[in-house]
Structure 1
């Protein structure tokens, strides 16, 4: 998965991410609500990507990693429904045709 020059939250539209298969994922919603994050993490059809280094270094997560990822996010989320400015994680929703969704979770350093 390609690297971003900055967290997708601070990039100008359109924001596109290419994965290893050549799929172009387009940013659909920035800073999704924590309830939506939970729903998308539990949805096996949604790809989940964890991005560290300020949200610029993404890597896909496995199905087995999702519960641990949710535990990490839910108490440290700074987006809507989260802990506000004290959190370290924020999530964005990307979409690809036809009807595929990706949850992109960015962690600040």
Structure 2
């Protein structure tokens, strides 16, 4: 996956992500509510991407990693419905045609 020059949360204008299969995803919503993040992580049809190094280095999350990822994020989510003062993770929704959704989780270490 292509790296970002900065985390998606701080980028202006249209933000896109090109995955390994050549599919182009467009940033649809930033700073998702905690409940939306939980639903998307648990939905096997929704790809999950982990943004390492402050959110700039994306990698696809394998299906068997989702439970571990969720256990990390649920106690330290920085966005709406989470713990903004002590959290370190933010999540955003990317979309691609036709009607596909992707969850992007930034790790703000």
TM-score of the superposed pair, with normalisation by structure 2 = 0.97
- Cα distance in structure 2, aligned partners of 1:3 and 1:95: 18
1:94 counterpart SS class? strand
- Cα distance in structure 1, aligned partners of 2:85 and 2:15: 24
1:27 paired to 2:27 = yes
Q: Runs of 5+ in structure 1 lacking a partner?
A: none
- Cα distance in structure 2, aligned partners of 1:98 and 1:90: 25
* Counterpart in the other structure of 2:18: 18
- Cα distance in structure 2, aligned partners of 1:98 and 1:2: 21
- Cα distance in structure 1, aligned partners of 2:16 and 2:51: 15
Deviations 1:42-86 (A, max 9, x none): 111100001110000010001111111110001011000001121
1:25 counterpart SS class? strand
TM-score of the superposed pair, with normalisation by structure 1 = 0.97
* Counterpart in the other structure of 1:87: 87
Q: Runs of 5+ in structure 2 lacking a partner?
A: none
Stretches (4+) displaced over 4 A: none
